[in-house]
Amino acid sequence: MYQTKIEFFYCCCMKIEKTLHSRIDKINFNHISSFGNHFSDHMFCSEFRNGEWKNSMIKPFGNIWISPISLVFHYGQAVFEGMKAYKDKNEEVFLFRPKENFKRINKSAIRLEMPTIPESIFMNGLKKLIDIDRDWIPKNYGQSLYIRPFLIAIDDGVLSAKPSNDYLFMIISTPADSYYYKDSLKIKIEEKYSRSASGGVGFTKASGNYASSFYPTKLAKEEGFDQVLWTDSSTHTLIEESGTMNVFFWLKNKLITPQANENILSGITCNSILSLAKKEGIDVQERDLRVSEIIDGLKNGVLKEAFGCGTAVVVNYFKTISYQGTDFSLPDLPEKKRISLRLKKNLLDIQHNLSEDPFGWRFRLKKFST
Ligand SMILES: Cc1ncc(COP(=O)(O)O)c(C=O)c1O
């Protein structure tokens, strides 16, 4: 895909092939057009074969060759993560809570009957890759390098519906602008389709969860919505999450989020927002949240704010929630009065090393000597 000249060396028990033809001048960091368009110069790969992890390496970003028999194509054994690296004013680099992503990808892997990734492979691969590509991390407030670790089944033996023997773990990254997905979102409470079901894989970042959400989301977009707000699959009376975001509601002076359970991804941003809100003394509740509470709150004017949060968007507030064909508008608060934006700023300040880190979330990425 990309022509490279290569420089070889070994570090942290991994082979490193560095490109001599960086593509970094192709990107305007002051105007990163859209998310996921440009990928940094290198990628990390490690293989699981014959029951052991081997061949860890960093190499120039490019296409990979795997057999069409690979079980990822047929039975969907694939899990992934999303995380970010930030720069501070002195261009020091910080990963945000990377060990949480490490733990979560392995939780997902176990549920999909895939091998877990050793911490040394995940963390050394991540640290070395981001160090090599540190120039790809944008410098402005809110900008970041979005990092995508993923694990796929690559068995090329027998095409049968069983777990793969062989797997490939990779990490790639893409510069991300400070962006609102949109200034504010118009959301539809979904009552027909479901994202996850009891006993299923909703709590994991299994790729199939996203594939199955595309069609209902497309239908909602055709109706003029930005996203669907998922509800539980059996009764459609409990709020779950929205797109790639966990959700919060500022209802009757309480900040409420549906309790993460087997149907809801336990979001690292959500968890961080909860901690920040509690620290501010906000009355926070993680619990089952009924659709009827939201609709009553909208009708009675006691639902003041609603927002989604996740690694990609950080925080994005909702302006309209639609239920059974009726659109309910949320109060049009000035930005300064929004709890969502205050919590977002508190989080970004920690991520960019602009404020204290009372929870120990920042992970300083030292420069390697090579
Ligand atoms: C379905 C889903 N819910 C919630 C989130 C938010 O999780 P996090 O804050 O860890 O990015 C994501 C994004 O990863 C997601 O894909």
* Per-residue pLDDT tens over the stretch 181-230: 557 899 999 999 999 999 999 999 999 999 999 999 999 999 999 999 99
Which residue among 248, 311, 347 is best mutated to probe the pocket of ligand 1, counting the most ligand atoms within 8 A of its Cβ?
311
CA 274 to centroid of ligand 1, rounded, Å: 14
| pTM of the predicted model as reported, rounded to 2 decimal places | 0.95
Report the sign of the C-alpha dihedral through residues 184, 281, 203, 191, in that order: negative
3-state secondary structure of 212: helix
Q: Measuring from atom 15 of ligand 1, which residue has the nearest CA?
A: 244
Q: pLDDT at position 200, please?
A: 97
Task: Measure the N-to-C terminal CA separation of the chain; round to a whole number of Å.
Answer: 26
The pLDDT score that the predictor gives to residue 339 is: 97
Q: Is the beta carbon of 258 within 6 A of some atom in ligand 1? A: no
**Minimal CA–CA distance to 323: which of 300, 292, 301, 302?**
292
Residue 257 has pLDDT above 80, yes or no: yes
What pLDDT is stored for residue 1 in this prediction?
Answer: 47
Q: Residue by residue, what is the 3-state secondary structure of 230-267?
A: EECCCCCCEEEEECCEEEEEEECCEEEEECCCCCCCCC
Domains of the chain: 4-176 (3.30.470.10), 185-351 (3.20.10.10)
Check residue 13 and give its pLDDT: 79
d(CA 320, CA 186): 5
Please indicate whether residue 79, judged by its CB atom, sits closer than 6 Å to ligand 1.
Answer: no
The pLDDT of residue 36 is 84
Mean pLDDT value across residues 92-112: 98
Ligand 1 center–CA 67 separation, angstroms:
30
Q: Is the pLDDT of residue 136 over 90?
A: yes
CB 105 less than 6 A from any atom of ligand 1? no
* Alpha-carbon torsion (240, 246, 250, 254), positive or negative: positive
Contact 184/318 with Cβ under 8 angstroms? yes
- Would you tell me the crossing angle of helices 119-132 and 98-111 to the nearest 10 degrees? 130
Asked whether residue 103 carries a pLDDT value surpassing 90, the answer given is: yes
Q: What does the alpha-carbon distance between residue 351 and residue 361 come to, in Å, rounded to a whole number?
A: 8
